[in-house]
Amino acid sequence: MNPDDIGFLGVRDLTALYRSRKLSPVEVVKAILARIERIEPRVNAMMRLTPEIALAAAKRSETAFMQREKTRLLEGIPFTIKDLQHTKGVQTDFASAVTQGTIPDVDAPCVSRLYAAGGMMLGKTTSAADWGWKGVSEAPISGITHNPWGHGLNAGASSSGAGVGAACGYGPLHQGGDGAGSIRMPAHFSGVYGFKPTHGRVASWPMSNNELATHIGPLTRSVEDAALMTEAMAGPHPWDYTSLEAPPQHYAGQLKAASMRGKRIAYSPDLGHARVDPEIAEAVAKAIKVFTDMGAIIEEVSPPWGKLGPELIRFFWPAVFAARAEYLPQYANRMDPGFVAMLRENAHVTTAQFMQMRTRRFEYVQQIHDFMEGYDFLLTPAVSVAAFPANRLQPAHWPQHDWDWLMWAEFSYPFNWSGSPAASVPCGFTPAGLPVGLQIVGRRFDDLGVLQASAAFEEARPWAHLRPPLAQ
């Protein structure tokens, strides 16, 4: 086998090769680390590598397979962790000069569970600037993470390195976090699969100030790999009091157990308000026909709650980061300029205003859940635009603003607030050859349903075989 192909193998393929002794976990780690070192100068997806950790885990897994011991769910499977997630003894910068050089003394629950499932951590992936505040793959402390389909273009954020790593064959499993679209946006821009489980399905720690809207989930090249990674990370944890009590389901084993025939699916091209570039709208509209061909009942909708979102997100997104304003006197010149502008513009918000808007947001979320009771799934574009230069907050042909990148990401944050499971599925390319994602949203708790719908689309329109130019 060509060593460069090893990083593109999925969990099932790697496990089969281990069992047949045609490949070992140690060989896999060495091959992928070598690939990362070769590809990294083009994409800049890794903050740092952890070869010692990966090789030590690989040797343990290799022994298990050689001695034919009972193996764990992800035995010998490589994974990466986002730079916003705590990793014991491994530098975690949180994408900010303020916290650069932090070395946590504990693993976050999702990390410890990936280890417990037999996984091997290859390293930490890049994130967007200053605690992942924006949807653009750039940070002052790490520079641009380049879209694998076009150097210098936005790869999405804040889980930018995770999406690029998945696209470039840095192994099968990449952990992401999603507070307003930060799994689904990188998936859209890099042409991979991103799954945001129901809020609480995977414990999130330290618990974010993001109004219980931050979700932990996978970015992968296939739905099956995402299902396996979710299963490994999921389950209740005492550090996150919002984590769901239910144990994880065997998601991967049930992906093909449901048909799309007869499913009632809502399709909203704009949620009743969002601007969408024509090339994105066209690719998504073609993807909708795939579900029609599978026998689903599609209803185009303009949900009445959609137009209420923009005012709410432009109030709450700055509020999420308001406490960081204490660092402005010392660090403003080392922070992202847009982040600084956002903090300064919104410094006047009062507690009374916050609580009034919070009441409105709760009402908004109830409307989303009431709407979803009438459908099995909701389909939308994942993002309104294709990849644009990563040194900008908005595409040149869109309205310009000092900090508002949310204008092209209106489809994701509603389902962070609602806690709903949602995925971005690769559904095509623009005429310029840039990926487009279709968002699949499910009812709260129906993680399996979203994974099954994603798998059905993947079977009809496979994408995992595609390799971007910068990954060659």
Residue of 96, 142, 158, 159 with catalytic role? 158
Q: What φ, ψ does residue 69 adopt, rounded to 5°?
A: -75, 165
Selecting among 82, 134, 196, 263, the annotated active-site residue is 82
Query: What distance in Å separates the CA atoms of residue 391 and residue 211, rounded to the nearest whole number?
Result: 29
The phi, psi pair for 380, rounded to 5°, reads -150, 170
Q: Does the annotation count 412 as an active-site position?
A: no
Beta-carbon contacts of residue 102 (< 8 Å; ≥ 6 apart)? 91, 92, 93, 94
From residue 403, how far is each of 60, 344, 345, 385, 407 by CA, in Å?
47, 11, 9, 17, 10
Closest by CA position to 24, among listed 51, 1, 50, 44:
1
C-alpha pair distances (Å), 78 with each of 14, 338, 427? 10, 35, 26
- For residue 175, list its beta bridge partners: 218
Which residue in 61, 160, 182, 268 is the catalytic one? 182
Q: For residues 388 and 207, what is the distance between their CA atoms, to the nearest angstrom?
A: 32
Sign, Cα dihedral of 101, 103, 108, 111: positive
| CA distances in angstroms from 392 to 90, 332, 437, listed in the order given | 31, 19, 21
Active site annotation includes 22: no
Contact 181, 437 (CB under 8 A): no
Residues 240 and 108: their CA atoms lie apart, in Å, by 11
Inter-CA distances, 213 with 235, 372, 413, Å: 18, 18, 8
Element (H, E) at 167: helix 160-167
Q: Are 157 and 186 in contact (CB under 8 A)?
A: yes
Burial bucket for residue 181 (CB in 10 Å: 0-12, 13-18, 19+): buried
Tokens representing 135? Answer: 């949807």
The CA-based diameter of the chain, rounded to the nearest angstrom, is: 64
Cβ–Cβ < 8 Å for 434, 153: yes
Q: Is 182 a catalytic residue?
A: yes
ω before 414 within 30° of 0 (cis)? Answer: no
Do residues 124 and 144 lie in contact, with contact meaning Cβ atoms separated by under 8 Å?
Answer: no
| Distance, CA of 44 to CA of 155 (rounded, Å) | 11
Cis omega (within 30 of 0) on the bond before 158? yes
Active site residues: 82, 158, 182
